[in-house]
Structure 1
Amino acid sequence: MKKIVILDFDGTIADTKPVILNTFHRTFDAMHLPQHSDEEIAATIGLPLMEAFPVLEPMDKEKAAECTATYREIFEDVNREIGVPMFPHVADTLHQLHAKGCTLTIATSRGYKSAADFLRSFKLDDIITLIVAAEDVRHAKPDPEPVLKTLKHYHLQPEDAVVVGDTHFDILMGRNARCMTVGVTYGNGSRQSLIEAGADAIVDDFAEITEMV
Structure 2
Amino acid sequence: MKYKLVILDWDGTVMDTVPKIVNTINTVADQYSFPRESEEKTKSIIGLSLENALETLFPEQANRSSELAATYKHVYKEVDKTPTSLFDGVEHVLKQLTDQGVKVAVATGKSRQGLNRLMEETGLAGYFVTTRTADEAESKPNPDMLNQIMSELGILPCDTVMVGDTIIDMEMARLANVDAIGVTFGVASGEQLKAAGARYITSQFAQLVDGLR
TM range (shorter): over 0.9
Which amino acid counterpart does residue 15 of structure 1 have in structure 2?
D
Which amino acid counterpart does residue 204 of structure 2 have in structure 1?
D
Alpha-carbon shift at residue 32 of structure 1 (Å): 2.7
Aligned to 1:155: 154
Q: Which runs of 4+ in 1 moved over 4 A?
A: none
Alpha-carbon shift at residue 203 of structure 1 (Å): 1.1
Alpha-carbon shift at residue 60 of structure 1 (Å): 5.2
| 3-state SS, counterpart of residue 126 of structure 2 | coil
Which amino acid counterpart does residue 11 of structure 1 have in structure 2?
G
Aligned to 1:31: 32
Alpha-carbon shift at residue 61 of structure 1 (Å): 4.2
**1:169 partnered with 2:168:** yes
Percent of pairs with identical residues: 32
Which amino acid counterpart does residue 94 of structure 1 have in structure 2?
L
Which amino acid counterpart does residue 44 of structure 1 have in structure 2?
I
Matching of residues 49-60 of structure 1 within 5 Å? 49-59=50-60
1:79-103: CA deviation from partner (whole Å, max 9, x where unpaired): 5x22310111111111111111111
**1:102 partnered with 2:102:** yes
Which amino acid counterpart does residue 114 of structure 2 have in structure 1?
S
1:13-66: CA deviation from partner (whole Å, max 9, x where unpaired): 001012111111111122232222222211111111211112222235431111
**1:121 partnered with 2:121:** yes
Alpha-carbon shift at residue 201 of structure 1 (Å): 0.9
**1:63 partnered with 2:64:** yes
Alpha-carbon shift at residue 68 of structure 1 (Å): 0.7
Cα distance between partner residues in 2 of 1:57 and 1:170: 22
Cα distance between partner residues in 2 of 1:158 and 1:135: 23
1:114-137: CA deviation from partner (whole Å, max 9, x where unpaired): 111111111101111212000111
Shift in CA distance, 47/136, structure 1 to aligned 2, threshold 3 Å: same
**1:14 partnered with 2:19:** no
| 3-state SS, counterpart of residue 135 of structure 1 | coil
Aligned to 2:86: 86
Cα distance between partner residues in 2 of 1:142 and 1:93: 26
| 3-state SS, counterpart of residue 129 of structure 2 | strand
| 3-state SS, counterpart of residue 59 of structure 2 | coil
Cα distance between partner residues in 1 of 2:67 and 2:99: 43
1:168-193: CA deviation from partner (whole Å, max 9, x where unpaired): 11111112111111001111111121
Aligned to 1:131: 131
| 3-state SS, counterpart of residue 45 of structure 2 | coil
Alpha-carbon shift at residue 143 of structure 1 (Å): 1.4
1:127-182: CA deviation from partner (whole Å, max 9, x where unpaired): 11212000111x22111111000001111110121110001111111121111110
Does the aligned pair in 2 maintain the 1:19–1:78 contact within 8 Å? no
Question: Normalization by structure 1: what TM-score?
Answer: 0.94
Question: Normalization by structure 2: what TM-score?
Answer: 0.94
Cα distance between partner residues in 2 of 1:55 and 1:126: 34
Using the TM superposition, name which of 89-98 and 202-211 deviates more.
Answer: 202-211
| 3-state SS, counterpart of residue 55 of structure 2 | helix
Which amino acid counterpart does residue 202 of structure 1 have in structure 2?
I
Does the aligned pair in 2 maintain the 1:22–1:78 contact within 8 Å? no
